[in-house]
Amino acid sequence: MSLKDEGFKRYLGKKYPETWRDMPIAAIVPWPGNTAEVKTHAWRTIRPVINQDKCIRCRLCWTFCPDGAILEVDEEYKTSSGRVFKVSYKVDYDHCKGCGICAAECPVNAIEMVPEER
Amino acid sequence: MALSKPVRTIWDIPREERFAPGHTMCQGCGAAIIMRHLTKVIGKDAIIVQATGCVEVTTTAFPRTSWLNPWLHLAFENAGAGASGVEAALKALKRKGVIDPNRKIKVVAIAGDGGTFDIGLQSLSGMLERGHNVMYVVYDNEAYMNTGIQRSGATPLGAWTTTTPVGKKMRGELRPKKDLIGIALAHRIPYIATASPAYPTDMVEKLRKAYETEGPSLVHIISPCTPGWRIRNEDTIKVARLAVLTGMWVLLEIVNGKPRVTVKVPKRKPVREYLKLQGRFRHLTDEEIARIQKMVDEYVEEINRWVGEQAIGPVEE
Amino acid sequence: MSLTLEKKEEKKEGLKQVIGRRIAATGNYAAALAVRDADIDVAAIYPITPQVQIAEKIAEFVADGELDAEVIHVEGEHSALSAVVAAAATGARAFTATSSQGLEYMHEILYIASSLRQPVVMALATRALSAPINIWNDYADAFGMRETGWIMLFSENVQEVYDNLVQAFRIAEHPDVLLPVVVTLDGYILSHTVEPLEPLGREEVLSFAPKRPRGYRPVLDPDYPITVGTLGTPHWYYEAKYQQVVALRESKRVIEEAGREFGKKYGREYGLIEKYMMDDAELAFVSLGATASLVKAAVDRLRKEGVKAGMIKIRVLRPFPADEIAEALENVEAWATLNRAISYGAAIEEPLFTEIAAALAVRGIVKPMASFVHGMGGRDIFVREIVEMYKKLDEIRRSGRRVKRTYFWGVKGHDPEEDQAM
């Protein structure tokens, strides 16, 4: 598309605004996906802990997480029984709200919900 | 890049996240799961028009957004009209060479059940009838959840809400939910589907097909709401699955008017199993549950007749 | 519909004057022509009397290939405005037209259009509001949208309908403005009345109100994703509203500049207000729309009688030209308003008056004043009645009495002085 004319940038304000003058026009947000900067871990009373040894890498916890807080990473893992997996699942504890869907849906009970201690 | 190849297994779902965390959707929110997968499917070249509702307010509190796509919210009842406007603009601007005519940019409308079944129905009907190339996704949590659990046209028979309370004379919602698929069907649009986040492969493939459809498409997705349905946070998927396994929610796909059940249920579970997990149905007596069971039996029969096979089987305790 | 414009350009004292062939056109036709000449990209159309021919003509222009635009046959005015706001947000030049109940039906989106700073242009064939249902002219609909943050231009005749719409696109899309603009045309009185019209033609309109490159303002674009229509919490909502206040205030400069430039190019200059016989006027009426023509006729008649009458026509109702009106009324001995709108239960029930009185009061200008309502729901206003109103104002000036209520003129069986006693 022809957004070569970048005049629109004058309306985008400053990240992040402090006054009405540096606020983007019409309260638009020109910073895609920036809620990611907000941590939602304080919502949590229980935290999921993945047992990497038990995990069969079925991807269901990743699929069902409402907060995208199960991360799928290309990290090789060798289980104690010698099985090698190319991917691993890790919890993004900054964003996990502790709903427990991952643990409830895990077909091999590899995720345990552990009380948060504060 | 939008998802272009068919989704056959869970591994066909793109890894890339296009719906940022840090939003304020509830713990265990069904709609949040749906949004993650929807944005994975549509990719970068899609403009989203969203109706007022839970997802809208929890993802766009200035100065933040969870969206990576260009995104527009106007009001509650006009996602269909807004999407029509965006689509018409893209068409005109492409024709006039302002936008590269070869670039595919899909318009995606998202609304809840209130913004679709009730206040947004007219706008949706206009959009479907005019044949706009828009994919319309309904996340149906079966009540006005954003305002605190008030009854909508999508609220099922017997459900407690704050405006269909359980009292001495009335016991929850008095009417079965509106037939949205029937309404969509009456508009003779090329692609209609129902989906459940408990069947992610099926849901994502349907979203992909809706995206690929030239002309209006509609995907109606059941979206369990933990506070509204009075379910435990971790039961979202379980409930969404039981809705399918009990025949309360049939996974359908209607391509150019031809219906098909995409996830067959040879042996149905009794509706009691679905209802008993949810606090909104806690008050139901055996007799009331039997009435709902009968209604579902009739619905299943109707679906089987329609698709021309026993796609959903009998109840087995 | 085949209308060929034989344009000829001639240099006159250094001014470039473009004179299109003079045609006869209704206000609705003039509006559709302006929209065609502005090469809009998207129109949402929905029939409502008396703007319906605007919708029909746009459809005809598109059907005949005279206009390359997407026409959305919406299912109601709420969707009409929603669709054009969304189209504008996508970068299109977008237009719709409405009237009366249709305007009320889209009322919710009026605020959203201006708050989202979308430069849509709309024609409003002014019409009375139900109930009783009434399809004839008054300004109740237009006055009901004063608080919605739109720029509002009133037209006195068919030529002004065209000229205002052409200027509307330039004003709305100006980088320092980015606000929606509504142009009124009195229902039937202008919408359906054939008057002479000199259209400018596409080339001139597009040079006066050029389409700017995509990207000069924020638009929905996958290459630079923005979130539009966010949730404004108490932390930021107020600041967004203040931005709107400033934008509308500052649009005044752009409106004036467009009107001056239009005059320079085409010989018809437009200001925020128009003064008629005001140089030595002792008694002045303020009015707007096609009603202003009647007031001018009354002024002519009074002048023949030796009464120093004058009038002020408000062309721009929003942003309100307070300074200009105060300046124009500073030297008159008494002033009054004549309007076709009622503000029920208000301190003064004629809404134009309260604004002018406030504008004068804060500037310390206090003098005999009165307000008149007439012509509701298409009731004819006769020039002789306006002459009578001037005489009433003259009597108020001479007696020095204070008029605390609006005069409802022309109500059957009602003596307007009774309004003062009530």
Using CA coordinates, name the residue in chain C closest to B99. C214
Distance from CA of B62 to the nearest CA of A (A): 7
Chain C hits for A10, CB-CB cut-off 8 Å, are 175
Chain C hits for B56, CB-CB cut-off 8 Å, are 231
* A1 and chain C in contact, CB less than 8 A: yes
Q: What is the mean pLDDT of residues C357-375?
A: 97
One-letter amino acid at C402 equals R
Indicate the residue of C82, C222, C229 with minimum beta-carbon distance to B85.
C82
Number of neighbours of residue A118 by Cβ within 10 angstroms: 6
Chain B hits for C69, CB-CB cut-off 8 Å, are 92
Q: Find the CATH number of the domain harbouring B50.
A: 3.40.50.970
Contact B226 A99 (CB under 8 A): yes
Tens digit of each residue's pLDDT (9 = 90 or more) over A52-68 = 999 999 999 999 999 99
Mean pLDDT of chain C: 95
B124, C74 in Cβ contact below 8 A?
no
Q: Given pLDDT bands bounded at 50, 70 and 90, which one contains residue B216?
A: very high
> How far apart (Å, rounded) are the C-alpha atoms in residues C85 and C178?
12
Q: What are phi and psi of C368, to 5 degrees?
A: -55, 135
> How far apart (Å, rounded) are the C-alpha atoms in residues B180 and C222?
31
Using CA coordinates, name the residue in chain C closest to A20. C239
> How far apart (Å, rounded) are the C-alpha atoms in residues B273 and B245?
9
Q: 14-43 in A: which are within 8 Å (CB) of C?
A: 17, 19-20, 23-30, 32
Residue C17: predicted pLDDT: 47
Distance from CA of C352 to the nearest CA of A (A): 29
Sign of CA dihedral C126, C132, C135, C137: negative
Residue B1: predicted pLDDT: 63
pLDDT for C170 beyond 60: yes
Contact C218 A11 (CB under 8 A): yes
Judged by DSSP in three states, C149 sits in coil
Closest CA relative to residue C246, chosen from B110, B49, A6, A20: A20
Q: What is the mean pLDDT of residues B211-237?
A: 98
CATH 3.40.50.920 range(s) for chain C read 273-421
Contact A104 B237 (CB under 8 A): yes
Q: Given pLDDT bands bounded at 50, 70 and 90, which one contains residue C15?
A: very low
Indicate the residue of C214, C226, C237 with minimum beta-carbon distance to A30.
C226
Indicate the residue of C223, C227, C243 with minimum beta-carbon distance to A20.
C243
Chain B hits for C220, CB-CB cut-off 8 Å, are 47, 70-72, 86
Distance from CA of C248 to the nearest CA of A (A): 13
Tens digit of each residue's pLDDT (9 = 90 or more) over C195-226 = 999 999 999 999 999 999 999 999 999 999 99
Residue C7: predicted pLDDT: 44
Tens digit of each residue's pLDDT (9 = 90 or more) over B110-120 = 999 999 999 99
Residue C19: predicted pLDDT: 55
Of the residues B234, B238, B277, the best mutation for testing chain A's interface (the one with the most A CB atoms within 10 Å of its CB) is B234
Identify any residues that bridge with A77 across adjacent strands, giving them in sequence order.
A85
Scanning chain A, the segments in alpha helix (DSSP H) are 60-64, 101-105
Residue C11: predicted pLDDT: 44
Pairing of strands C121-126, C94-98: parallel
pLDDT for B282 beyond 90: yes
Indicate the residue of C213, C227, C239 with minimum beta-carbon distance to A5.
C213
> How far apart (Å, rounded) are the C-alpha atoms in residues C372 and C129?
19
Chain A hits for B13, CB-CB cut-off 8 Å, are 59, 63
Distance from CA of A53 to the nearest CA of B (A): 21
Contact A40 B21 (CB under 8 A): yes
Distance from CA of C212 to the nearest CA of B (A): 11
**Partner chains of A (3+ C-beta pairs under 8 Å):** B, C
Q: What is the mean pLDDT of residues B85-99?
A: 98
Chains B, C: CB contacts within 8 A come to 157
Which residues span the domain enclosing B301? Answer: 10-307
Indicate the residue of B65, B197, B234 with minimum beta-carbon distance to A32.
B65
C282, C334 in Cβ contact below 8 A?
yes
**Partner chains of C (3+ C-beta pairs under 8 Å):** A, B
Indicate the residue of C178, C223, C236 with minimum beta-carbon distance to A27.
C236
Domain count, chain B: 1
Place of tokens 């969206």: B67
Residue C334: predicted pLDDT: 98
To the question of domain A38-115 being in CATH 3.30.70.20, the answer is: yes
* C234 and chain A in contact, CB less than 8 A: no
Q: What is the mean pLDDT of residues B66-87?
A: 98
Tens digit of each residue's pLDDT (9 = 90 or more) over B118-133 = 999 999 999 999 999 9
Residue B2: predicted pLDDT: 82
Number of neighbours of residue B47 by Cβ within 10 angstroms: 29
pLDDT for C5 beyond 50: no
> How far apart (Å, rounded) are the C-alpha atoms in residues C270 and C313?
11
C212: Cα within 13 Å, side-chain hemisphere:
21
> How far apart (Å, rounded) are the C-alpha atoms in residues C331 and C325?
11
> How far apart (Å, rounded) are the C-alpha atoms in residues A6 and A80?
56
**Partner chains of B (3+ C-beta pairs under 8 Å):** A, C
Q: Given pLDDT bands bounded at 50, 70 and 90, which one contains residue A2?
A: low
One-letter amino acid at C139 equals Y
Residue C10: predicted pLDDT: 44
Domain ranges in chain A are: 38-115
Contact C44 B85 (CB under 8 A): yes
* B74 and chain A in contact, CB less than 8 A: no
Chain C hits for A8, CB-CB cut-off 8 Å, are 215-219, 224
Judged by DSSP in three states, A1 sits in coil
Contact B62 C230 (CB under 8 A): yes
* B89 and chain C in contact, CB less than 8 A: yes
Indicate the residue of A34, A59, A105 with minimum beta-carbon distance to B237.
A105
Contact B22 A38 (CB under 8 A): yes
* Percent with pLDDT over 90 in chain A: 93
Distance from CA of C324 to the nearest CA of A (A): 28
Topology of domain C10-266, CATH: Rossmann fold (3.40.50)
Indicate the residue of C178, C215, C240 with minimum beta-carbon distance to A6.
C215
> Is B2 within a domain?
no
Tens digit of each residue's pLDDT (9 = 90 or more) over C36-83 = 999 999 999 999 999 999 999 999 999 999 999 999 999 999 999 999
Q: What is the mean pLDDT of residues B6-35?
A: 98
Residue C20: predicted pLDDT: 56
CATH 3.40.50.970 range(s) for chain C read 10-266
Chains A, C: CB contacts within 8 A come to 79
Contact A3 C221 (CB under 8 A): yes
Closest CA relative to residue C189, chosen from C137, C153, C152, C142: C137
Using CA coordinates, name the residue in chain C closest to A10. C217
> Is B249 within a domain?
yes
Chain A hits for B15, CB-CB cut-off 8 Å, are 72
CATH code for the structural domain at C273-421: 3.40.50.920
> How far apart (Å, rounded) are the C-alpha atoms in residues B82 and B72?
8
